Amino acid sequence: MTDLARSGNFDIYATYQQFLQDEQISPPLAAILSLAEAISQSKAGTMFELLKTVTDGAENLRARSRNPISLNAGCELFIAFVTLFPHESDTFAELKKELEQQGRKYAAEAISFRDKIAELALGFIKDDSVILTHSHSRVVLKALLHAHKTKRISVYVTESRPRGLGLKTYEALTAAGIPCTVVLDSAVAYVMDQVDFVMVGSEAVVESGGLINYVGSNQMAIIAKAANKPFYALAESYKFHRLFPLSQYDLPTHNPNILSFATPTAQSAGQDGASATAAPETSSTGTANAGTQSSPTERAMTQEQIAKNPGVDYTRPDLISLVFSDVGILTPEGVSQYLVGMFAG
């Protein structure tokens, strides 16, 4: 039980944020734990009321999250468990307790899914492999650290602007003794000929077998395909999502403000130039290069400009070589078949 639940002021989104403070808990698992907590706090006396509690809680999480894709996969999985799968409880009170306990049990067990995926990926990582990865992914980091125990590997990781999450991956890999270099997002094509394969994580794997991940993954997959390099996606099964985007503009995160044009004026142009701050020149380690001076013409994007850019993108299934999951090594077509079976009860 969370601190908020103990206080009697249950707020499902605040509870969700509290679960996310654990580095091992990803958004889908935090969503499942939050819905289990909602059942625990619910005064529902019928199955209809209980289901409404769960669906209302899921809608609350989606509405208050800037990027609801990953957490929604967890919500769908938990709702499917509540509605589709048989339960053994004799009374309604026991049923509520069973649903809450099963939700917590699944989330606890699901943390080990990354270990299973890391072991599956190990067979595809040869000694002296050079790997390109993108941004920061818990499951990819687990796979790389696991491979490092028995094999020599080197890793290129993209900087992943604007949040710079690639630097977090860089720090973890170098701390473990893995040779690693940070690559500009715009230098992916430049480095592709140097790598053996690309390995990325996921926000969600959708019904088509396509991938939703941190923005930049799609262009990386396109370049890998052109260079005839394998593109591997690593995804826990709780990130398999009943969603069928056909393009970037079908994603739930897309809105009219993304990549919209502002009406230029002489005054606003001057303000934009003044508000942009000089960006420090960075070395491959991701730290400021003290030996050189930043050019006066170097600029960083404003928060308003960043807000007009997408946070995630969609990669078509024909660009993905394999999907490594805790349920096995799947082709994109195999993901579709698994999703159909999973939600068919």
* Residue 28 CB partners (closer than 8 Å, separation 6+): 70, 71, 73, 74, 77, 236, 238, 239
In three-state secondary structure terms, 44 is: coil
Number of other CB atoms surrounding residue 47 within 10 Å? 13
The pLDDT score that the predictor gives to residue 74 is: 95
The yes-or-no verdict on residue 145 having pLDDT over 90 is yes
Over residues 292-315, the pLDDT tens digits come to: 555 567 788 888 888 899 999 999
Do 239 and 271 contact (CB within 8 A), yes or no?
no
Question: In the beta sheet, which residues pair with residue 211?
Answer: 205, 315
Beta strand pairing status for 231-234 and 180-183? unpaired
Over residues 159-212, the pLDDT tens digits come to: 998 889 999 999 999 999 999 999 999 999 999 999 999 999 999 999 999 999
The yes-or-no verdict on residue 229 having pLDDT over 80 is yes
User: What is the reported pTM?
Assistant: 0.84
Choose among 154, 142, 145, 141: nearest CA to 181: 154
Q: Compute the distance between CA of residue 132 and CA of residue 200 in angstroms, rounded to an integer.
A: 8
